[in-house]
Chains A and B, each alone.
Chain A
Amino acid sequence: MSRADEPYREAGVDALDAQLPAAETLPRLAGLVRPLRTRAALGLDAAPAPALLFVPVGFLLGPRALGALSEDALAFLDVVVSVGLAALGIFIGLALDLRHGGGRRLLAAASAEALVTLGVVAGAMLFLIGRWQMPLDVSPVVAALVLGVCAAASSASAARRDSDPVQPLATRIADLDDVLPLVLGAYALGLLRIPDPAGAAWLAAATAAAGLAVGMAGWLLFEEASGPAERGVFVLGAVALLGGSAAYVGQSALFAGMVAGLAWKVSPGRADRIIRGDLRRIQHPLVVLLLLVAGASLAPSRAALWLFAPLVLFRLAGKLLGGWAASRVFPGRATPADLGAYLIPPGVIGIGFALAFNQFDPSPTGAAILTATTLASLAGELLAVVSLAELRRS
Chain B
Amino acid sequence: MRRPLAFAIVVGVAYAARTLGDGGSPLRGTGLALGFALIAAALAGTFFERVGLPRLSGYLVFGLACGPYLGDIISRSMARQLQLANGLAIALIAFVAGLELNLARLRPRLRAIAGLSFVTLGFLYAGLLVTCWALWPWLPIAPEATGAARVALAALLATVAASFSPTVTIAVIAESRARGPLSELVLAVVVLADLVLIFLFTLVMQAVRWVLGEAPAGDVSLLARLTWEILGSLAFGAALGAVFAVYLRYVGREITVVLLGLCAVLSAAGGWLHFEPLLAALAAGLVVENVAPPRGDALKEAVERGGLPVLVVFFVAAGTSLQIDALGVTGGAVCLLLALARAALLREGTRLGARRAGLDPALGALAWMGLVSQAGVTLGLTVLVAVEFPEWGEPLQALVVVLSALHVLAGPILFRMALSRAGEVGQMDAGERPSAAPA
> Which residues from chain B contact A229 at a C-beta distance below 8 Å?
305-306, 308
Number of residues from B at the complex interface, CB < 8 A = 59
Could you tell me the distance between the alpha carbons of A19 and B301 in the complex, rounded to whole angstroms?
9
What are 11 A-B pairs with beta-carbon distances under 8 A? Answer: A15-B306, A38-B253, A39-B254, A213-B13, A217-B13, A220-B9, A241-B39, A243-B31, A244-B17, A244-B32, A247-B24
Could you tell me the distance between the alpha carbons of A241 and B17 in the complex, rounded to whole angstroms?
10
The contact of B16 among A24, A210, A234, by CB within 8 Å, is A210
- Apart from A79-B34, A232-B309, 5 more pairs, CB < 8 Å: A15-B306, A214-B10, A233-B38, A237-B35, A241-B38
With A14-B257, A285-B257: A24-B32 Cβ-Cβ less than 8 Å: no
**Contacting pair A224 B253 (CB below 8 A):** no
**What is the chain A residue whose CB lies nearest that of B311?**
A233
With A21-B295, A24-B250, A245-B32: A220-B24 Cβ-Cβ less than 8 Å: no
B145 interface hit (Cβ, 8 Å): no
**Contacting pair B301 A26 (CB below 8 A):** no
**Contacting pair B35 A244 (CB below 8 A):** yes
Within 8 A of B (CB), among A311-359: 359
Q: Which of A29-37, A149-157, A162-170, A297-305 forms contacts with chain B?
A: A29-37
**What is the chain B residue whose CB lies nearest that of A281?**
B256
**Contacting pair A20 B248 (CB below 8 A):** yes
A78 interface hit (Cβ, 8 Å): yes
Min CB distance, A3 to chain B, in Å?
A: 22
> Which residues from chain A contact B39 at a C-beta distance below 8 Å?
217, 221, 233-234, 237-238, 241
> Which residues from chain B contact A25 at a C-beta distance below 8 Å?
250
B1-41 interface code vs A (CB 8 A; 1 in, 0 out): 01101100110111011101111110111111111111100
A1 interface hit (Cβ, 8 Å): no
The contact of A244 among B9, B12, B34, B249, by CB within 8 Å, is B34
With A33-B250, A230-B308, A244-B33: A237-B42 Cβ-Cβ less than 8 Å: yes
Could you tell me the distance between the alpha carbons of A230 and B43 in the complex, rounded to whole angstroms?
10
A182 interface hit (Cβ, 8 Å): no
A127 interface hit (Cβ, 8 Å): no
A216 interface hit (Cβ, 8 Å): yes
> Which residues from chain A contact B291 at a C-beta distance below 8 Å?
none
A76 interface hit (Cβ, 8 Å): yes
Could you tell me the distance between the alpha carbons of A42 and B256 in the complex, rounded to whole angstroms?
12
A236-256 interface code vs B (CB 8 A; 1 in, 0 out): 111111111101111000000
A-B contacts counted at CB < 8 A amount to: 198
Could you tell me the distance between the alpha carbons of A284 and B249 in the complex, rounded to whole angstroms?
25
Min CB distance, A47 to chain B, in Å?
A: 15
**What is the chain A residue whose CB lies nearest that of B2?**
A220
The contact of A206 among B20, B257, B309, by CB within 8 Å, is B20
The contact of B251 among A36, A226, A236, A247, by CB within 8 Å, is A36
Number of residues from A at the complex interface, CB < 8 A = 60
Min CB distance, A23 to chain B, in Å?
A: 3
Chain A, interface SS category: helix
Could you tell me the distance between the alpha carbons of A50 and B180 in the complex, rounded to whole angstroms?
49
Could you tell me the distance between the alpha carbons of A121 and B424 in the complex, rounded to whole angstroms?
65
> Which residues from chain A contact B32 at a C-beta distance below 8 Å?
241, 244-245, 247-248
B236-260 interface code vs A (CB 8 A; 1 in, 0 out): 0000000000001111111111010
Could you tell me the distance between the alpha carbons of A146 and B256 in the complex, rounded to whole angstroms?
36
**Contacting pair A360 B24 (CB below 8 A):** yes
B84 interface hit (Cβ, 8 Å): yes
A371 interface hit (Cβ, 8 Å): no
B326 interface hit (Cβ, 8 Å): no
**Contacting pair A214 B13 (CB below 8 A):** yes
**Contacting pair B29 A248 (CB below 8 A):** yes
**Contacting pair A236 B38 (CB below 8 A):** yes
B294 interface hit (Cβ, 8 Å): yes
**Contacting pair A21 B6 (CB below 8 A):** no
With A14-B256, A79-B31: A23-B2 Cβ-Cβ less than 8 Å: no
Could you tell me the distance between the alpha carbons of A360 and B28 in the complex, rounded to whole angstroms?
10
> Which residues from chain B contact A388 at a C-beta distance below 8 Å?
none
Could you tell me the distance between the alpha carbons of A39 and B34 in the complex, rounded to whole angstroms?
29
**Contacting pair B254 A17 (CB below 8 A):** yes
A130 interface hit (Cβ, 8 Å): no
**What is the chain B residue whose CB lies nearest that of A241?**
B35
**Contacting pair A232 B302 (CB below 8 A):** no
Could you tell me the distance between the alpha carbons of A82 and B312 in the complex, rounded to whole angstroms?
20
B298 interface hit (Cβ, 8 Å): yes
Could you tell me the distance between the alpha carbons of A15 and B294 in the complex, rounded to whole angstroms?
17
**Contacting pair B6 A23 (CB below 8 A):** no
**Contacting pair B35 A39 (CB below 8 A):** no
Q: Nearest 6 pairs between A and B by C-beta?
A: A244-B31, A241-B35, A237-B38, A23-B252, A240-B35, A244-B32
With A16-B306, A236-B309: A230-B42 Cβ-Cβ less than 8 Å: yes
**What is the chain B residue whose CB lies nearest that of A42?**
B254
Could you tell me the distance between the alpha carbons of A231 and B32 in the complex, rounded to whole angstroms?
19
**Contacting pair A247 B31 (CB below 8 A):** yes
Could you tell me the distance between the alpha carbons of A210 and B13 in the complex, rounded to whole angstroms?
6
Could you tell me the distance between the alpha carbons of A224 and B25 in the complex, rounded to whole angstroms?
36
Could you tell me the distance between the alpha carbons of A221 and B8 in the complex, rounded to whole angstroms?
12
Within 8 A of B (CB), among A4-55: 14-17, 19-26, 29, 33, 36-39, 42, 44
> Which residues from chain B contact A206 at a C-beta distance below 8 Å?
16, 20
> Which residues from chain A contact B30 at a C-beta distance below 8 Å?
79, 244
B299 interface hit (Cβ, 8 Å): yes
> Which residues from chain A contact B27 at a C-beta distance below 8 Å?
75-76, 78-79
> Which residues from chain A contact B31 at a C-beta distance below 8 Å?
79, 82-83, 240-241, 243-245, 247-248
Could you tell me the distance between the alpha carbons of A230 and B44 in the complex, rounded to whole angstroms?
12
**Contacting pair B253 A221 (CB below 8 A):** no
**Contacting pair A23 B308 (CB below 8 A):** no
> Which residues from chain B contact A79 at a C-beta distance below 8 Å?
27-28, 30-31, 34, 81
> Which residues from chain B contact A39 at a C-beta distance below 8 Å?
253-254
> Which residues from chain B contact A214 at a C-beta distance below 8 Å?
9-10, 13
> Which residues from chain B contact A76 at a C-beta distance below 8 Å?
27, 84
**Contacting pair B34 A240 (CB below 8 A):** yes
Min CB distance, A83 to chain B, in Å?
A: 6
The contact of B35 among A17, A33, A242, by CB within 8 Å, is A242
A228 interface hit (Cβ, 8 Å): yes
The contact of A15 among B35, B37, B256, by CB within 8 Å, is B256
With A224-B3, A233-B309, A250-B21: A20-B298 Cβ-Cβ less than 8 Å: yes
Q: Which of A221, A232, A242, A359 has the most CB of B within 10 A?
A: A221
Min CB distance, A300 to chain B, in Å?
A: 24
B313-355 interface code vs A (CB 8 A; 1 in, 0 out): 0000000000000000000000000000000000000000000
**What is the chain A residue whose CB lies nearest that of B253?**
A37
Could you tell me the distance between the alpha carbons of A36 and B251 in the complex, rounded to whole angstroms?
7
The contact of A233 among B254, B294, B301, B312, by CB within 8 Å, is B312
**What is the chain A residue whose CB lies nearest that of B19?**
A249
**Contacting pair A20 B251 (CB below 8 A):** no
Q: Which of A83, A236, A237, A239 has the most CB of B within 10 A?
A: A237
**What is the chain B residue whose CB lies nearest that of A215?**
B9
